Structure 1
Amino acid sequence: MLNEFKTFISKGNVMDMAVGIIIGAAFTAIVSSLVADLVNPFIALFTGGIDFSGWFYALDGETYASLAAATDAGAPVFAFGNFIMAVINFLIIAFVVFMLVKTVNRIKDAAEGEKEAVAEEPAGPTELDILKEIRDALAKQG
């Protein structure tokens, strides 16, 4: 499944991208809550309470208590913690879309398999079979 996910995420298929954009836009609030309320605390549990969103480097060389304090002071900041959170959000959205597309493809494949099975079942004798029977019956009579 991990290899399928890697293939999916690296494929430049327009339909996959469109689905990702639509699902990503529709579930932005859900994913943001998932990351902020579930993923971050879980990561913080294993990293000793580290919050990525607070990680930054002030490019003016000054020291600030928080990212908010640095931006309020007008300092240029390299907010790499926000970038880490954006990457986590992206991976979660991409995985959800991957699972959605995989499920849709599985349903579509199952439906196509049923159509093929129905199409392959003989519905009875064909016109050619009936004509052959008539020919054989006439040959026996005469």
Structure 2
Amino acid sequence: MNENPSQAPDSAPDSAPASAPDERLVLLQRRLAAFAAARDWQPYHTPKNLAVALSVEASELVEIFQWLTPEQSERVMEAPDTAHRVADEVADVLAYLLQFCEVLGVDALDALAAKIDRNELRFPVKSAPAPKCHSSE
């Protein structure tokens, strides 16, 4: 077994090593920043504007599900056209969230980990009550 987790497993020597999730986020943030810079969009990428754009894109994702039943919503990825729309809106939401985090210096993964930690303390797992014994008296 390979001792270096950043390298591909020995069984697949020709495959490229997978980037860690945080590395991929950083690379995507850089691509988004370069995309915006090439178009001189930085003056428009204020925290307020990015938060508004994020809200709009999240609303477009919600719109796909607006009139679906719960059962239909669970099958939304089965239809290629709808699956494509969902994936596009998820991408838009993530793009604006990453740009928002970049502008404000928020590490999204650290923020999420800290929030999960707080929620675990705030909402502890309740022990299931012991089943009551039913006597056959």
Superposition TM-score, scaled by structure 1 size: 0.26
Which one has a bigger Cα radius of gyration? Answer: 1
Structure with greater proportional helix content: 1
Compute the TM-score of the two structures, normalised by the length of structure 2: 0.26
